[in-house]
A and B are shown apart, each in its own frame.
Chain A
């Protein structure tokens, strides 16, 4: 772990570089099959994920707390999960086309996290426990899984449109190199399942933590807009996932998944920054 000798910013810059090169490799391979660029993209993205993790780890040791108790860290964690899920899906389904969409997104989140001024306030004792760490980690994993599901669903809709109009468009073009409908549907159901389980577990831990830490001081914590929207998100995704597993039309699942992610974005940004008084990053 020689990389840990570097500051979290230096590690973040290295991760950004690896993500950028990896994303370029994936994009080149999507536009025109290029085996060398594709293999390089996988290696660089894996390096990006490791460096992203190293940056988080380094920041954790600097803060003496989980590195994602503020917006900066949580965005970096979100980028890390996106990169990791991309590698998991790639290894499992032997398909690299998703990387052209997920790695640039991971890069944007990591870059955004590096542009935000970090909070210098030290972590209070309530933010140091493992329950809080797991609560945030699982929620971030859930949001990353929903982002992946959104990308898979959007691709499903693109490929479906391509197949419905292939007689007009011909068989060439980047859409022809996207994954098969079968893969996109199956991977979407997996991502939705991971997201729902992670969010459910994360919320249960959150409730447990809030009851213990806020219970007396803020008895109305459960009415916080972010808590309510997170619960609504869980119910929404649980319904989509159950419907998908029980044989709902994949195109409906894809449309609902894309729409659902808008809800996640609202919860993740707008409510965080504008409405929630209690449940903001310290």
Chain B
């Protein structure tokens, strides 16, 4: 019996295959139940995101990879050879290590990305609610989430944004206490304006104004997000009425000069964050001299994103060390469930108790004849053997998951310690 994983991720599987393998929570549970029916796994969970579809489980079969690939080929109606060629897989420690690295964001497309930890937690929640996980996979996923949290709190992975939009939001968070009550002006109606609008709305911004040389596009954006429309010739004056300006037009020359902005902001109070995402720049860099204006252009934002990414990469060895530590800890727990080890531990514990009791009554026993003493000795030995009989049989019955669950229960009930 061993832990096993098979997965299709952004390293080896093309997007069109990943799209076909993506599973909703309900379908994931359905797939897992099929795997139990076909006795490929005895317990398991599926992590399905846009970048990966991976199954983790406990198996007693030697042909586990082939059986899993063949099952998924039928389940998804996908060519089996294609699945086998593009799969990543592993057994034992490799399974544990892989899930821990995934959870830590070390295996993500964007190193240290934040969502994956929540996705691993959600995969466990779904599987646990459907009772497809049991002692081993429950422990595996709990340890994976712990490992992911540790990596995020003890390293820079996941703590610093590495995208232009993420950096822009982080800078806004350094200037304003909250963005929810802030007014935002978006100049330009391209993809960048649309993307950023979505991010800002997700962050709680509700007061949005849109301005564009072509009025129709700005009006359409304003309508789509319950925002205001600002005519192009009022763009400079509008700077004085908002807290954040995001400009991303295709204009070949600056659309706002420092002189114009200085006049417009004459009676304005409070900081103004200006995000100039256009190339060439929309906002005259000389506005940096205005005391309450904080301007960041694409170069600055990209520079910060790259710097953060480099710092994240520098922390990879530290994160890998945490993963290895977590794998070693899981290994100790897993080895402790070894059937022979648990029985030996239980036997040793009962034997020690028997000897201690005999020792306690040694004074009284010394008054007995030699033969009676031997009888008492034999009686206690028989008792220990009889007590051990049922657990010994029980630990060998049922499927792998049942046997491991019982081993874990015996260890917990008799307080048997892990061998290190």
A residues near B, CB below 8 A?
93, 159, 162-164, 166-167, 170-172, 176, 180-183, 185-186, 247-252
Contact = CB atoms under 8 A, between A and B. Distances in A.
Contacts of A159: 174
Contact of B294 (A164, A172, A247, A248): A164
B176 A182 contact: yes
Contacts of B173: 180
Contacts of B170: 171
Given A170-B307, A176-B174, 19 more contacts: A93-B177, A166-B300, A167-B299, A167-B303, A167-B304, A171-B167, A171-B170, A172-B160, A180-B174, A180-B176, A181-B174, A181-B175, A181-B271, A182-B175, A182-B270, A247-B269, A249-B269, A250-B292, A252-B291
A170 B304 contact: yes
25 contacts: A159-B174, A162-B174, A163-B171, A163-B174, A164-B294, A166-B296, A166-B304, A167-B300, A167-B304, A170-B304, A171-B167, A171-B304, A171-B308, A180-B173, A180-B175, A180-B176, A180-B177, A181-B176, A185-B270, A247-B268, A247-B269, A249-B291, A250-B270, A251-B292, A252-B291
A141 to B, nearest CB: 26
A252 B291 CA distance: 9
Given A164-B294, A167-B304, A171-B160, A247 B267 contact: yes
B253 interface: no
Interface string B266-305: 0111110000000000000000100110101001100110
Q: Is the interface of A mostly helix, strand, loop or mixed?
A: helix
Contacts of A93: 177
A30 to B, nearest CB: 15
Contacts of A249: 269, 291-292
A159 B174 CA distance: 9
Contacts of B291: 249, 251-252
B38 interface: no
A31 B91 CA distance: 42
Nearest to A176: B174
- In this complex, the interface size class of chain B, counting residues with CB under 8 Å from chain A, is 20 to 34
Contact of A163 (B160, B175, B303): B175
B311 interface: yes
B271 A182 contact: yes
Contacts of A185: 270
Interface in B100-143: none
Contacts of B167: 171
Nearest to A248: B269
B158 to A, nearest CB: 13
Q: Which of B175, B296, B308, B311 has the most CB of A within 10 A?
A: B175
Nearest to B172: A180
A5 B294 CA distance: 56
A180 B160 CA distance: 17
Q: Which of A162, A172, A181, A185 has the most CB of B within 10 A?
A: A181
Given A172-B160, A249-B291, A250-B271, A182 B300 contact: no
Contacts of B300: 166-167
Contacts of A182: 175-177, 270-271
A52 to B, nearest CB: 30
A162 B291 CA distance: 13
A248 B268 CA distance: 9
Contacts of B160: 171-172
Nearest to A183: B177
Contacts of A162: 174
Contacts of A183: 177
A164 B272 CA distance: 12
Q: What are the 10 A-B residue pairs with the smallest beta carbon separation, nearest first?
A: A167-B300, A247-B269, A182-B177, A251-B291, A182-B176, A170-B307, A181-B175, A180-B177, A183-B177, A181-B271
Given A181-B175, A251-B292, A172 B311 contact: yes
Contacts of B177: 93, 180, 182-183, 186
A252 B269 CA distance: 12
Contacts of B294: 163-164
Contacts of B156: 172
A166 B175 contact: no
B318 to A, nearest CB: 14
A14 to B, nearest CB: 34
Contacts of B311: 170, 172
Nearest to B293: A164
A170 B269 CA distance: 27
Q: Which of A159, A170, A186 has the most CB of B within 10 A?
A: A170
Contacts of B176: 180-182
A24 B265 CA distance: 42
Contact of A164 (B268, B288, B299): B288
B302 to A, nearest CB: 10
A176 B173 CA distance: 10
Nearest to B268: A247
A243 B303 CA distance: 38
Contact of B296 (A167, A172, A248): A167
